[in-house]
Amino acid sequence: MSTLRYGYGTNGFANHRLSDALTVIADLGYTGVALTLDHDHLDPYAPGLARQVTETADRLRDLGLGVVIETGARYLLDPWRKHAPTLLHDDRKLRLDFLRRAVAIGADLGAEAVSFWAGVRPGDVDERTAWRRLVDGCAEVTEAATDAGVPLGFEPEPGMEVEDIAGWRRLYADLGEPEMFGLTLDIGHCRCLEELSVPDCVTAVAEHLVNVQIDDMRRGVHEHLELGTGEIDFPPVLRALIDGGYGGLVAVELPRHSHAAPTVARESLAFLLAAEEEGR
């Protein structure tokens, strides 16, 4: 029996209706889902959103799935610019509105966390301005999350303004170490960027973890790979999560594998269960 709670990301089911994706994920044996708000999967700007949120909450409950909200949709806010605007852009108000919507949806779904990231600093924005905008924006989102009772998981992302654990710690400190401002850790990013081994990286931040994304990766290459095809030794990583007392979702994040979603999701869960057993 698994000690960890495994989920799968809906960004890896982009060709499925959301209701169908949730059914497949649950039928495969996952206990949670990382739900990316997007055009086809619970669009936060769609007419009739309240009804859709209620239906999704009912579906999650009926399937016994926990949920975290992911906010990394590529062209949801701007059809011309991927991931834009971010909290660093001049027109960042649209991103702030989106994140507040994500928190509200998360509260209605009973989400365990709402995950987000900094974004890439625009070329015409200096470092000092970008950091001030990031801190101010995160403070606004944290206030909304605190009021809603939904933890935030801020994700360091390679190439972004905050790309590693050190950057997250700096941001956390500048925000005054708020209780609701936690950490989303992508296991692959540990392999890609951090100086620590991946298990040591997990251990170092265990007290702050509210959301874990899992995929394989090679050092220095930011490419989400199927589990077991990169360089990560998963049994000690999963052992570190267990030893650290992590109780949230460990969600497979393979956004480029929607073409074979059910197969990849099935194989991923089997891999994780075997790796967890090996690490005992």
Q: Is residue 202 part of a domain?
A: yes
Q: pLDDT band for position 256 (50/70/90)?
A: confident
Does residue 62 fall inside a structural domain?
yes
CA atoms of 261 and 229, how far apart (whole Å): 17
The total domain count for the chain is: 1
Q: Does residue 127 lie in a domain region?
A: yes
Higher-confidence residue: 182 or 222? 182
Instruction: Say if 208 falls within a structural domain.
Output: yes
What value does the mean pLDDT of the chain take? Answer: 93
Domain containing residue 60? 8-278
In a domain, 145, yes or no: yes
| Cα–Cα nearest to 186, from 120, 134, 255 | 255
For 7, 11, 195, 258, 259, the CA distances from 39, given in Å and listed in that order, are 21, 11, 37, 15, 18
Q: What is the band of 223 on the pLDDT scale with cuts at 50, 70, 90? A: low
Q: Residue 151's closest CA among 183, 192, 108?
A: 183
234's tokens: 């998963």
Has residue 87 been placed in a domain?
yes
The predicted-structure confidence for 51-66, as pLDDT tens digits, reads as follows: 999 999 999 999 999 9
Taking every pair of Cα atoms in the chain, the longest distance, rounded to a whole number of angstroms, is: 52
Q: Is residue 1 part of a domain?
A: no
* pLDDT greater at residue 58 or residue 194: 58
Q: What is the pTM of this model?
A: 0.95
What percent of the chain shows pLDDT beyond 70? 95
User: Residue 257 pLDDT > 90, yes or no?
Assistant: no
CB 157 within 8 A of CB 118: yes
Is 3 a member of any domain? no
Comparing C-alpha atoms, which of 68, 51, 109, 112 is closest to residue 213? 68
Q: At 108, which CATH number?
A: 3.20.20.150
